[in-house]
Structure formats: structure tokens, C-alpha cells
């Protein structure tokens, strides 16, 4: 059946129903296995981030739309899930955490000693076309250091990003942190157009045009790029040569004199490498790469992105210094230097699945985490009340215990015990008032008095735990 | 300045800014302490629920509005955060989890052995007036058993609700689970209007009117209630007498004959008490209370609510059996018995704060959880690269380590070490290549070679951990 004259796709009632019985496009259901993967990622994020002395915080997932316009301009609204609520408020599902951080810092910074090392794990939303690694609802870890201008904060964040990935079983062969700074391109513009002058002579709009060109340089054909670079008296080759020359100079600890030249304030990046990354032994995880041009409208210093070495996936993580943003969002109320990064769950999840060591580590962690300790086999229904009393006591003592809610054959109950990964099965049946205890790994069986079971179980798990 | 002729409250630019710099009404910012409280609640929820063999799952926070209308009727939309998205879809922030569960079960139930024991922890949203214990965004634990008709599932959920509260340090003096069933009121209607007949003779609309009356019986004056009860040939006193009589009969294990009477299918509740709650030793945590009348439109069997004994707070948790809901939401595609309950973070959080034992347990857990292990004191800036190398190594070995990002006085650094709850301080200064190790609890100091520090620290924490 086709609706006569209709141009809008027509859904049959059953199709409509089918659609409404699925998650919305770009949203995910987390069945138990997917949820275990998600929890594994969150647990590693929390564990490693806390090693760095970060403390967790969070904001609401719904904020005033104004907060995002203020940071990113009115055009951001096209990518938001935003609406007018029943109180006539313009609200949006958060696309990122930084505006909320700025809002909370402006309101509360006096309550805390600086620098703040804060992290957060939560859901974020974008109304964009679905594609691989890009969903409408995803999860992000955000780590920020607020109130510290020193390059040590940038280094702390980069070291943390590296340790986070190592925490998932990745090595230097799997990923690399690419650090960059727009200062390299400020000095490029000076060199090409106004040699010997300082950065204040660089036209801001012209500089942004250069950054836009750089952002597209690998995707656009060289001829077009050369045409665009003409206003800088430069070619694609000049750009790459400059990037490479600057990179080499930065990686050489003796090139202090060059860094002192007016307008070439790349000394931060030089310091980062030689006073922070190298002493920490992280040289092999970090590369200077000036082709990384990342939201430079709001970053004010070093920026970095973490990429897979093997695959052309989107960045695993990215961030940088944004010393002006909190001031700008609070209308100048709170000037506060800050740096931070975010790591999403989607690209990271794909990389884990595609990398043997990381995948095996995850599978093993999930399998261990999902196991129960003890399965109670109710072999005689008359013994169910005694079994229930034992189950209650074992759970109160912290054991993970399961049992058949309804009567079932003994063989099927043992199968369930295996499926749930139980270490012990306790059988309530003819042996009463003794209980048959079966070690499901070794198949050993013994008879223990019902009343003495708790002690016996405690002994078993202490022995297992220390083995 | 007042806007001429304006009737809409006019905000000065600064006021507007102030408003936009706060969370939306009914939404919360979680500063580190608030987030630690939230994490504590989540951790206890997860830990105890897993003891019962439940596995975690989750859905999106945004769903089709249709999903909620289908369960609760069009009037639910008044309480939703709902809107039309940019793809012309009618969507809503989830007010509860059960419709998502029904959707996911209908799509995936064949992949799992029944019964399913699933739990989920997440954010939920309601567009309602703010009041104590009632926010627009809150968190809930949801626990459901799907695919099991036996009363054992209801008992498992009630036992879990009790152990969850015990897990927070509450005792039988603090809370009580009130169990109820509409069957008690079906037999009341029969007794008053059609003695000897069976439940099919009860008019559904009339029965709903009775439930509405019962729901308001404690808030409304007795005269009005008596007027409403006239159609049942009953008074408020008759209602209470019936509730009390039924409660007494249920609590007496010998009253099997009464339960067998046609239309009085209260035997489930009798079984629940005598075959499940009493054997588990949970009698003192459970009361039969027929004044609990809870969303009876969709519950089909036993319902229960958990209340504080001391305070007139809203219910801490509530749930029951809903054997028809999954079938109804999937248009009959998947008939599946189910029972479940939800526990919110807001009322629970207030009860923890108001109860000494629970509050102390929480404070102690949060203090322990928030501590770092080691603080590195950089007494000489020349030693910073060596300190950084050590910090990196310690963190890679799983220790929580912090240090001053920028140069600071030694005294201030020790103060920070204390503030962060560090067990050890390692001082990098004149003693180089030795490092001064200070036990911050005992004030003992020793000198250890930089190269041997990791072993020494490992020994310290093993000793501390087993002490």
C-alpha cells in the first residue's frame, strides 16, 4: 500500500512500532556484555586518573543553551540537542564538559586550593550524522587542571593520557601523542611576511586563514592549497619544511638561542619536551607534529591529540591549554588558566577490540568481574528454606551467591553454576544436615555441616585469593 | 530600570548572566565532595546487587516519547522533558527505566536464559515542581527479574532491597519494607458487594475508584472519604478493619483455608512471608501494610515500598510485579512475567545524612577513597627531573602520587601532603642521591637511595595493608 500523492515516506503501523521498539538513531542500548565493556573502560579511567591525584566531579547533562553559544557562537546550536522546556527555558543536552567546568569554577573556585585537578566521566550528545566512531550519545573522560600556568600542568595531562592508554594494555607501538602549538605558525607567518617583527604584527584573520588551510592540508589537493597559501608567499613544501625544521629544533636541547627570538615563543614546547617528557621517560610516546591544528580558536598554548599508530581512526583523545576560556564564559568574572583533555569511549573501544593485548586484558577483566562465587543447588525442595537461610547469610558476608528461583533438575542447576562462573556449588539434598560442597574447578567434593558452612567457605576463598 | 508596559519579569543583563551561570532549576552540580557521596552510593548499590547475581545493563537517556505514552497514557507527557528533535522525532529524556527494559527485552530476550536478573544505575528526568527529595534530574538503581512467575523472584527483590539498606549501615530500627497486594482489596469489594462470588465479577472502573480512595485516605478528611466509600457499603473504619484483619491472617501460618476461598488469591503474599521472608530471617524488616497502594494500574501482583521508620520522607524504594507490561509495550510481541524495584539517590542521601551510623560509615569510606598514597616534596628545583622520573615509575606501579606542579616552599608542600591524606612523603633535596622518606602518620623519617625507593615503598604499603 502506498499513500496516494504522498511524498513523505509512509510507514506501516508495524514498521512504526518496530522503529519505536529500537533505540533512537545514534543511541545505544547496553546489554550486559556491552555494559561490562563500558564499566571496564570507566574503571580503568577512574583508577589511572586517581593515580595522578585527580578528584571526580560532574555536572548535569542538561544546561542552558546560552552556555554553549557563549563559548562557540550561535552556529554550535546546529549540532546540539536543544529545545525549549516547559518553563520557556532554552536548554540543551551537553555536547562537551568545558562550559560546565567554566560555570562551576566561576561559582566555586574560592572554595578550593589551586591548582585543581578534576576529572569527570559522563554522557555527551551531538545531533550529527551517524558514522563509524561517531554517535549521538557517547561517553567521555574529561581531565582538567585549573589555576596553573606552568607547563608542568600540560605535561601532567600528557603523561596521564599516556598512562591511561597503557592501562588498557596499549604500548608505544600502538599509539602516539602528537603535540603542537600555534606559535610555530605565528613565527611562520612572521618569517614569510614580516621578518624580524614580533607576533603582534600578525593579522588575526589572516592567521586564522592559515590555520584553516593547515587543517585541510592533507585532505585537499596540493594545487588548491598552493593557491590559498599565496598570500603567505608560501607553498605546501614551505609549510612542511617549516614544520620539520621547527620540530628538529625543538627536539634538540641545545637550541635555546632560537627560542629566544622575538615572537617565537615556542620555548614552552621546548621545555615540555626537555624538562618534562624526557625526564619522565615518555619520549617514545610523544611526537612534535605541527600538522595537528585543533580548535585553535579557544586553545591558547600547547595542544595535543592521541592517535593510533596503525589505523586511521579519529583521535582517541585530544586537548590543550585554554587560559582565556573560563574568563570569557564568566564575562571576565573569573580569570583562570586551565588545560585539559577528553577521551571518548567509542574510538577507544574500537581500538581495544582491534588490538590483541588490549582485547585479551579486557576480556579477562570482564570475565573475572562477572563471576559469582557460590551457586546453591536445591536438590530437594524440602531443603529450600534451609538453603534460603544460608544464601541470606552468605550474601550478608559479601559473597556473590545465586540459586534457582524455581525448582529445577540438579544437572541443570550445576550447568547454571558453571555458566555463572561459580567457584563453589553447595548442594542441599539428601545429605542434610550436611551439605555437599563441590569445588567447580577441581571437581573435588566434601560434606560439611550446614551450620559450619560459613567458616568453611571463608577458608576456601581466603585460600583461593592468596593462591 | 523597568521595561515599560512589560508583564514578563525583566532581568538585568547581569542577572541573566547570573542565572545562566547556575545549573538549571532542579539540576545539580556535583562538586568533588558531592560526587564522592554519589560514587559511594553507586558503589554500594553495585556491590550488594552483584552479591545477588544481578548483572548490569543500561539504555540511552533519550527515547521516543511514544514509548512512555504507550505505558502511561498521553497525560505522562506533562511530566516529561520531551521535545521534537532536528530529525522531526518526538523524543523525551527518560523518566523511568521500565519502558526501556521492555523495549530491550522484546528485542533481545531470545539471547538470554531466563530468568534474567538485571540491574542498572543511571540518570532520570521529570519536569516537575522542585521540592525536598524531588528534583528534575536524579539517579536511580533499577533491579528487575524477568521471566520468572514464582513468588521467589518477588522475595529475592525484597531481600535485595533490605540488604542494600543494610549495606549503607541502616538497621531494622531505621527502615521497613511494606508489602501489599491489590488482591486484598479485590476480596474487600467482593465481601462488601458480592459475597461468595469470584473476582471476575468486580467492575474494573469501580475497583480503580477504590484504589484512588485508598491512595488518598491518609491525606483526606474522614467525612469525605466515607462519602466516597458509600458505593462500597463501607466506611473508613471498615477499610482499616479489613486491612488489619487480612494482615493478621497473612501473618498466621495456619490460615491456609481462608486463602483458598474463591477470589481471595492472597496466597502469594502468605507464601512470600512464610516460605521466603521468614526462612531468610528477614521478618523484622518486613510488614504487611495494605495502605500501600502503588501505581496499581500496571502492577499485577505483590507491591512493596521501603520507608524510613523515623521520618516522614518519601519512599526510599518501591516496586512490584508487572507481568503484563512487557507484553503491552511490545504490542503482545513478547509476553514475559517480570518484577522489579527502583531506589533513588535523593531520599536515600537525605536518610544517610540524618542517620548517625550510616553517615559515619559513608564519611569514613569517602575519606579512605579520596586519599593519595604518596606526596613528592621537591625541596630543590634541580632535583625536579629526578622526582618526575620517580613519580612516573610510582604511578605506573599503581600508587596514587601527587606533587607540586610549580615550585613551592617545603613547609607548604608538606601541608598539601597532609591535606591530600598521603601516607608517605618523599623529599627530593640536599640528601640526593638519597631521598628522605617520611611516614606522615608516625612522623618517622629515613633516608633511602633514589634507585631503591620503589622496593621500599612496596614494602611499606604491603605492611600497612596487612596491619
pLDDT in tens, B396-417: 999 999 999 999 999 999 999 9
Helix H, strand E, coil C: the string for A1-62 is CCCCCCCCCCCCHHHHHHHHCCCCCCCCCECHHHHHHHHHHHHHHHHHHHHCCCEECECCCE
Closest chain A residue to B405 measured between Cα atoms? A152
Helix, strand, coil in percent for chain B, rounding step 5: 45, 20, 35
In chain B, which residues fall in CATH 3.40.50.800? 372-466
Q: How far apart are CA A68 and CA A370, in angstroms?
A: 40
List of residues 6+ apart from A60 with CB closer than 8 A: A94, A100, B23, B24, B27, B28, B29, B137
B279 neighbourhood in chain A, CB within 8 Å:
384-386, 388-389
Find how far residue A404's CA is from the centre of its chain: 39
Which grid cell sits at B361?
560509615
Q: How far apart are CA B56 and CA B416, in angstroms?
A: 38
List of residues 6+ apart from B28 with CB closer than 8 A: A60, B34, B135, B137
Q: How confident is the model at residue B214 (pLDDT cuts 50, 70, 90)?
A: confident
Query: How many CB atoms within 10 Å of residue A128?
Result: 15
Length reported for chain B: 467
- Helix, coil or strand: residue A340: strand
> Among A42-56, B61-75, B240-254, which range has the highest average pLDDT?
A42-56
Between chains, do B405 and A66 touch, taking CB under 8 Å as contact?
no
> How many Å lie between the alpha carbon of A399 and the closest alpha carbon of chain B?
6
Q: How confident is the model at residue B6 (pLDDT cuts 50, 70, 90)?
A: very low
pLDDT attached to residue B251: 81
> How many Å lie between the alpha carbon of A400 and the closest alpha carbon of chain B?
4
pLDDT attached to residue B362: 97
Q: What is the CATH superfamily name and number for domain B13-363? A: Bira Bifunctional Protein; Domain 2 (3.30.930.10)
pLDDT attached to residue B18: 58
pLDDT attached to residue B131: 63
Instruction: Please say whether the beta carbons of B384 and B426 come within 8 A.
Output: no
> How many Å lie between the alpha carbon of A58 and the closest alpha carbon of chain B?
5
Q: How far apart are CA A201 and CA A207, in angstroms?
A: 11
Picking from A24, A51, A385, the nearest residue to B275 by CB comes out as: A385
In chain B, which residues fall in CATH 3.30.930.10? 13-363
Q: How far apart are CA A415 and CA B388, in angstroms?
A: 53
pLDDT attached to residue B61: 97
Residue B296 has pLDDT above 80, yes or no: no
Residue bearing the bigger pLDDT, A378 or A188: A378
Mean pLDDT, residues A168-188 taken together: 90
Between chains, do B32 and A57 touch, taking CB under 8 Å as contact?
yes
Q: How confident is the model at residue A9 (pLDDT cuts 50, 70, 90)?
A: very low
Which residue do the cell numbers 606559535 mark?
A183
DSSP annotation of A381 reads G
CA atoms within 13 A on the CB side of A252: 12
> How many Å lie between the alpha carbon of A388 and the closest alpha carbon of chain B?
6
pLDDT attached to residue A14: 45
Q: How far apart are CA A21 and CA B104, in angstroms?
A: 8
Question: Mind listing the pLDDT tens digit for each residue in B74-130?
Answer: 777 888 999 999 888 999 999 999 999 999 999 998 999 999 999 999 999 998 765
pLDDT attached to residue B4: 36
pLDDT attached to residue A15: 44
Mean pLDDT, residues B420-426 taken together: 97
* Mean pLDDT, rounded, of chain B: 88
pLDDT attached to residue B300: 85
ipTM of the complex: 0.91
Mean pLDDT, residues B308-317 taken together: 83
DSSP-assigned letters across all residues of B66-128: HHHHHHH-GGGGGGSEEEE-TTS-EEEE-S-SHHHHHHHHHHHGGGSPSSEEEEEEEEEE---
Residue B160 has pLDDT above 90, yes or no: yes
- Helix, coil or strand: residue B267: helix
CA atoms within 13 A on the CB side of A340: 31
Q: How confident is the model at residue B1 (pLDDT cuts 50, 70, 90)?
A: very low
A159 neighbourhood in chain B, CB within 8 Å:
392
How much of chain A, in percent, has pLDDT values that exceed 70? 90
Mean pLDDT, residues A227-248 taken together: 91
Residue A177 has pLDDT above 90, yes or no: yes
Q: How far is CA A346 from CA A38, A41, A119, A136, A169, in A?
A: 10, 10, 19, 11, 17
Residue B36 has pLDDT above 90, yes or no: yes
pLDDT attached to residue B398: 95
Picking from B64, B127, B166, the nearest residue to A85 by CB comes out as: B127
pLDDT attached to residue A313: 67
Order across the sheet with B175-181: list the strands: B55-56, B116-125, B137-146, B338-344, B317-321, B302-308, B175-181, B286-288
pLDDT attached to residue A187: 81
CATH for A28-363 is 3.30.930.10
Q: How confident is the model at residue A128 (pLDDT cuts 50, 70, 90)?
A: confident
Q: How confident is the model at residue B12 (pLDDT cuts 50, 70, 90)?
A: very low
A87 neighbourhood in chain B, CB within 8 Å:
25, 127
Closest chain A residue to B274 measured between Cα atoms? A385
Mean pLDDT, residues B147-172 taken together: 96
In chain A, which residues fall in CATH 3.30.930.10? 28-363
Q: How far apart are CA A296 and CA A182, in angstroms?
A: 7
Query: How many CB atoms within 10 Å of residue A425?
Result: 20
Which grid cell sits at A354?
582491534
CATH for A372-466 is 3.40.50.800
Q: Considering only A186-200, B15-29, B54-68, B158-172, which range has the smallest mean pLDDT?
A: B15-29
pLDDT attached to residue B447: 97
Closest chain A residue to B84 measured between Cα atoms? A83
pLDDT attached to residue B347: 92
Picking from A50, A57, A117, the nearest residue to B31 by CB comes out as: A57
> How many Å lie between the alpha carbon of B393 and the closest alpha carbon of chain A?
8
Residue bearing the bigger pLDDT, B407 or B246: B407
List of residues 6+ apart from B133 with CB closer than 8 A: B313, B314, B346, B347, B350
Q: Which is nearest to B319 in space by CA: B150, B141, B184, B149?
A: B141
pLDDT attached to residue B311: 66
A30 neighbourhood in chain B, CB within 8 Å:
57-59
Closest chain A residue to B56 measured between Cα atoms? A32
Q: How confident is the model at residue B266 (pLDDT cuts 50, 70, 90)?
A: confident
pLDDT attached to residue A174: 95
B401 neighbourhood in chain A, CB within 8 Å:
51-53
DSSP-assigned letters across all residues of B204-262: HHHHHHHHHHHHHTTTS-HHHHHHHHGGGT--HHHHHHHHHHHHHHHH-TTTHHHHTST
A27 neighbourhood in chain B, CB within 8 Å:
60, 62
Q: How far is CA B264 from CA B184, B201, B356, in A?
A: 7, 13, 43
Closest chain B residue to A389 measured between Cα atoms? B280
Which residue do the cell numbers 545465586 mark?
A402
Strands A445-449 and A434-439: antiparallel
pLDDT attached to residue A366: 96
Residue B11 has pLDDT above 70, yes or no: no
Residue bearing the bigger pLDDT, B134 or A366: A366
Mean pLDDT, residues B265-293 taken together: 88
Residue bearing the bigger pLDDT, A467 or A382: A382
Residue bearing the bigger pLDDT, A316 or B255: A316
Question: Mind listing the pLDDT tens digit for each residue in A250-305?
Answer: 888 776 655 555 444 577 888 899 999 999 999 999 999 888 876 656 788 899 99
Closest chain A residue to B417 measured between Cα atoms? A53
Between chains, do B21 and A107 touch, taking CB under 8 Å as contact?
yes
Amino acid at each position: 500500500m502506498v499513500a496516494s500523492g504522498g511524498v513523505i515516506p509512509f510507514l506501516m503501523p508495524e514498521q512504526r512500532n518496530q522503529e519505536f521498539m529500537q533505540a533512537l538513531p545514534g543511541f545505544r542500548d547496553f546489554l550486559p556484555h556491552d555494559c561490562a565493556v563500558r564499566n571496564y573502560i570507566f574503571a580503568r579511567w577512574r583508577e589511572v586518573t586517581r593515580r595522578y591525584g585527580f578528584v571526580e566531579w560532574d555536572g548535569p547533562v542538561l544546561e542552558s543553551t546560552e552556555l554553549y553559544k557563549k563559548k562557540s557562537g550561535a552556529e554550535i546550536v546546529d549540532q546540539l540537542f536543544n529545545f525549549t522546556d516547559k518553563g520557556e527555558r532554552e536548554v540543551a543536552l551537553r555536547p562537551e564538559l568545558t562550559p560546565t567546568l567554566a560555570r562551576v569554577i566561576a561559582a566555586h573556585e574560592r572554595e578550593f586550593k589551586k591548582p585543581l585537578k578534576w576529572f569527570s566521566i559522563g554522557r555527551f550528545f551531538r545531533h550529527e550524522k551517524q558514522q563509524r566512531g561517531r554517535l549521538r550519545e557517547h561517553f567521555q573522560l574529561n581531565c582538567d587542571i585549573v589555576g596553573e600556568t606552568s607547563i608542568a600542568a600540560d605535561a601532567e595531562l600528557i603523561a596521564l593520557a599516556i598512562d591511561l592508554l597503557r592501562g588498557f594494555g596499549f604500548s608505544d607501538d600502538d599509539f602516539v601523542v602528537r603535540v603542537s602549538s600555534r606559535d610555530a605558525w605565528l613565527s611562520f607567518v612572521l618569517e614569510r611576511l614580516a621578518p624580524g617583527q614580533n607576533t603582534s604584527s600578525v593579522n588575526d584573520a589572516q592567521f586564522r586563514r592559515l590555520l584553516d588551510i593547515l587543517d585541510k592540508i592533507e585532505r585537499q589537493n596540493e594545487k588548491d592549497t598552493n593557491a590559498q597559501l599565496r598570500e603567505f608567499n608560501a607553498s605546501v613544501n614551505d609549510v612542511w619544511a617549516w614544520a620539520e625544521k621547527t620540530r628538529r629544533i625543538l627536539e634538540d636541547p641545545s637550541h635555546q638561542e632560537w627560542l629566544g627570538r622575538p615572537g617565537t615563543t615556542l620555548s614552552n614546547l621546548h621545555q615540555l619536551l626537555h624538562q618534562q617528557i624526557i625526564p619522565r621517560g615518555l619520549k617514545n610516546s610523544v611526537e612534535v607534529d605541527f600538522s595537528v591544528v585543533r580548535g585553535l580558536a579557544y586553545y591558547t598554548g600547547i595542544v595535543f591529540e592521541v592517535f593510533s599508530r596503525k589505523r586511521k581512526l579519529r583521535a582517541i583523545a585530544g586537548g590543550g591549554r585554554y587560559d582565556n576560556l573560563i574568563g570569557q564564559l564568566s564575562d571576565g568574572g573569573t580569570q583562570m588558566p586551565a588545560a585539559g583533555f577528553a577521551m571518548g569511549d567509542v574510538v577507544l573501544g574500537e581500538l581495544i577490540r582491534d588490538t590483541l593485548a588490549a582485547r585479551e586484558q579486557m576480556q579477562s577483566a570482564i570475565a573475572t568481574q562477572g563471576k559469582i562465587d557460590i551457586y546453591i543447588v536445591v536438590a530437594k525442595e524440602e531443603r529450600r528454606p534451609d538453603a534460603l537461610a544460608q544464601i541470606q547469610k552468605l550474601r550478608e558476608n559479601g559473597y556473590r551467591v545465586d540459586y534457582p528461583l524455581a525448582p529445577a533438575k540438579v544437572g541443570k542447576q550445576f550447568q547454571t553454576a558453571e555458566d555463572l562462573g561459580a567457584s563453589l556449588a553447595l548442594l542441599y539434598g539428601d545429605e542434610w544436615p550436611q551439605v555437599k560442597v563441590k569445588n567447580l574447578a577441581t571437581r573435588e567434593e566434601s560434606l560439611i555441616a550446614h551450620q559450619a558452612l560459613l567458616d568453611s567457605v571463608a577458608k576456601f576463598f581466603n585460600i583461593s585469593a592468596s593462591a
